[in-house]
Structure 1
């Protein structure tokens, strides 16, 4: 007999409200919840992406190899961070876990000089791909478990958004 929760039960569980003291009292959950931005009562992924904007502003001027290495390091760190937070909460890919959104947005903005039009367009494209999850993002989201799964689908959404951003950026005034 299969005792795993139904997809709807899993989705409902991933939206359970987590007390702020639990997030701020645990270093893994504090990071996984994007320094608390994932505690937003609505659209925590959007708030997590907003938390990525100042991070991007700080690192946008780095040489591309350094930027790429930093993002790769944040991705690698995100795997155990998200996995440990998941275990501590007892919930797979809780909607408040937004470290993956931060990394996904940084992937989106790779190689893009800082400008507000680029940030707004990159933000919109990343949220679009993260929410809609076109194939193969949806497949990764469904089939890859643990911290790696949490990180992987948003990283790929970031790659899709980066492609769109680099195609559209020449048409956006900076």
Structure 2
């Protein structure tokens, strides 16, 4: 038996409706977020920044930001293999550089604060491969994507409609 687009097994579920349009309702706050996003780009390599954004978005279950940042990463030349393996990076370390692994570990520690702090060993690994300014910039980039994730998840932004380069955030 074959199925087609019209059978119940292959019919897509409808999209959910966003709760609110944050940019329209609080434009000054949204513009401030855009300024933070722009500032977070300074001093972090674009490919590394996208890996950080994708990993934080995976941890925060933010489908909207995952859609955006995987598309941006692919458009910028990132490999699909590295994006796919990112959620299992501990078993796929050979796909990444030491700097990328340190940034991914730091992203996880900053994003998931279950212990209430970033462990010293994670910080020390990152400090060994990033200078102090790069490390501060990386922490800023991680903080900004976590803020975007929380806004998008709360507002129920709908994934699937983003075109690479449309906007920051």
TM-score range (shorter-chain normalised) is under 0.3
Instruction: Pick 1 or 2: higher relative contact order, CA cutoff 8 A, min separation 6.
Output: 2
Higher helix share: 1
Relative to the length of structure 1, the TM-score reads 0.26
